[in-house]
Amino acid sequence: MPGESLATNTPAVAWDQEVDRWGDAPFSFRLEVSDVDGDELDYFQVSENQPYGSFIKTNNLEPPNIELIYFPNSHYKESDYLEYKVFDGLKESRIATVIVNYKGPDNQPPEAFNQTVIGVEGEPFSITLNAYDPENNILTYNIVQDPEHGTLFPAFGKNLTYTPNVGLPQQDTFKFQVSDIQNQSNVATVYIEYESLPNQAPTATPKEITVNAGEPHSFQIEGSDVDDDPEELTYILTTWPQHGQLEGTGPELTYTAQVTYEGEDQFKFRVTDGRKVSEEALVTIDVLPPIVRPNEPPEVVEITGKLNIFINEVTTLTVVSQDDGYPLPPQLTYRWWSNTNPELVHFGQPHAAETTVY
């Protein structure tokens, strides 16, 4: 630096170091030097050139950094060395040594291999990545594309654990690459497939319901299947209730208990996935007394037939009526009479066409 004196100048420092040579190609490296004053450093070689190769300084780096290129002699497969000093314009550094270690022929890139692994549905499983290095260098494994339907742990290294996402298993893939000291490998793909488990029988689910006598009650019976969608199950009734009527097709059913019954009723069913049938499941029905409602009088809705007739003429009249159904059991009695002759009365059966002579 301008105006700097020997008293204030700090000498540059050069450190010993080692570099590796692979094959016969020239390669560059940076000298391990520094100068706290930030001076531009001059480099000069102390040792004589060996027959194994030569060192040439470049101008590629900003001061105080220094870069050299080593040109190996292809006839020699030996280690080489360089002794040098650096000079900051006022003081020289100590002598430092660079050792060039001959490691062998040109380093070949490692190779990563595609592979297919078979897992078990719903369970984590181990994966060992497969790669090779011609020089038997230590390899670093890197995941370059994550799987879509699961997770890897850890996210690096040769030995991994793959955990599939919750739900139906799906084929998956991920990609990895390895590297040695100098080179990276190709990108390899790991294909994940699943080994199907043997079909397991579905399960019918027991159920308890509570109903009132005489009242229709709709409900669902249920089943489950670890292999398939539960909606694909077929429901099979194996016993029937003794104190009521069961209608519908599983899983949608309607049960109506007898009006006069109070207590427990039951039936059983199974489910099948088309290959295996479940064990029986019991549906227990607690039948309570009928619901008490106020009784409303029945109502004549319509009378059809010939209403104007002659004496001794025969006619057929049909009556349509409606009732609230109470009291239970519902049963209507029909009473006919003539407006012109109130003493002429006829009793008929419920909902029947009546033939009356007046």
Query: Each residue of 217-235: pLDDT tens digit?
Result: 999 999 998 876 666 899 9
Final residue before a domain boundary, out of 166, 195, 224: 195
Confirm whether 352 is domain-assigned: no
CA distance 158 to 132: 12
Q: Which residue type sits at 25?
A: A
**Do 280 and 210 belong together in one domain?**
yes
Confirm whether 356 is domain-assigned: no
Taking only the tens place, the pLDDT of each residue in 271-280 is 998 888 999 9
Q: Is the pLDDT of residue 190 over 60?
A: yes
The pair of structure tokens assigned to 255 is: 């049960």
**Do 90 and 133 belong together in one domain?**
no
**Do 97 and 17 belong together in one domain?**
yes
Residue 339 pLDDT level (bands cut at 50, 70, 90): low
Report CA torsion sign: 52, 180, 182, 99: negative
**Do 17 and 95 belong together in one domain?**
yes
Q: What is the mean pLDDT of residues 55-79?
A: 87
Confirm whether 21 is domain-assigned: yes
Number of domains in the chain: 4
pLDDT reported for residue 345: 46
Query: Residue 135, class by beta-carbon neighbours within 10 Å (0-12 exposed, 13-18 middle, 19+ buried)?
Result: middle
Say if CB 353 and CB 318 are below 8 A apart.
yes
> What domain range includes position 157?
111-195
pLDDT reported for residue 196: 66
SS3 (DSSP) at 230: helix
Say if CB 243 and CB 257 are below 8 A apart.
yes
**Do 20 and 61 belong together in one domain?**
yes
CA-angle at 311, arms to 305 and 312, nearest 5°: 85
Confirm whether 145 is domain-assigned: yes
Confirm whether 312 is domain-assigned: yes
Place of tokens 């994550």: 146
Confirm whether 327 is domain-assigned: yes
Taking only the tens place, the pLDDT of each residue in 264-308 is 999 999 999 888 899 999 999 999 999 877 777 888 888 888 777
Q: Is the pLDDT of residue 352 over 50?
A: no
Confirm whether 183 is domain-assigned: yes
Q: What is the average pLDDT value for the chain, to the nearest integer?
A: 84
Residue 357 pLDDT level (bands cut at 50, 70, 90): very low
**Do 278 and 333 belong together in one domain?**
no
**Do 129 and 168 belong together in one domain?**
yes
Q: Is the pLDDT of residue 334 over 80?
A: no
Sheet holding 150-153, edge to edge: 125-128, 159-164, 150-153
**Do 311 and 336 belong together in one domain?**
yes
**Do 212 and 174 belong together in one domain?**
no
- Give φ, ψ of 232 to 5 degrees: -90, 5
CA distance 230 to 239: 22
Residue 354 pLDDT level (bands cut at 50, 70, 90): very low
Q: Is the pLDDT of residue 2 over 50?
A: no
- Could you give the percent of the chain with pLDDT greater than 90? 47
Q: Give me the CATH number covering residue 25.
A: 2.60.40.10
Does 106 or 340 have the greater pLDDT score? 106
Q: What is the mean pLDDT of residues 207-213?
A: 96
- How far CA 104 is from CA of 22, 30, 57, 335, in Å, comes to 5, 21, 25, 120
Final residue before a domain boundary, out of 174, 195, 216: 195
Question: How many angstroms from the chain centroid is the CA of residue 65?
Answer: 54
pLDDT reported for residue 327: 59
Confirm whether 358 is domain-assigned: no
- How far CA 229 is from CA of 82, 140, 172, 225, 233, in Å, comes to 75, 43, 22, 7, 8
pLDDT reported for residue 342: 52
Does 120 or 213 have the greater pLDDT score? 213
**Do 125 and 165 belong together in one domain?**
yes
**Do 162 and 238 belong together in one domain?**
no
**Do 235 and 217 belong together in one domain?**
yes
Taking only the tens place, the pLDDT of each residue in 104-125 is 777 788 999 999 998 877 789 9
Half-sphere exposure of 33 (CA within 13 A, CB side): 35
Q: What is the mean pLDDT of residues 22-36?
A: 88
Strands 80-87 and 42-45: antiparallel
Final residue before a domain boundary, out of 102, 120, 154: 102
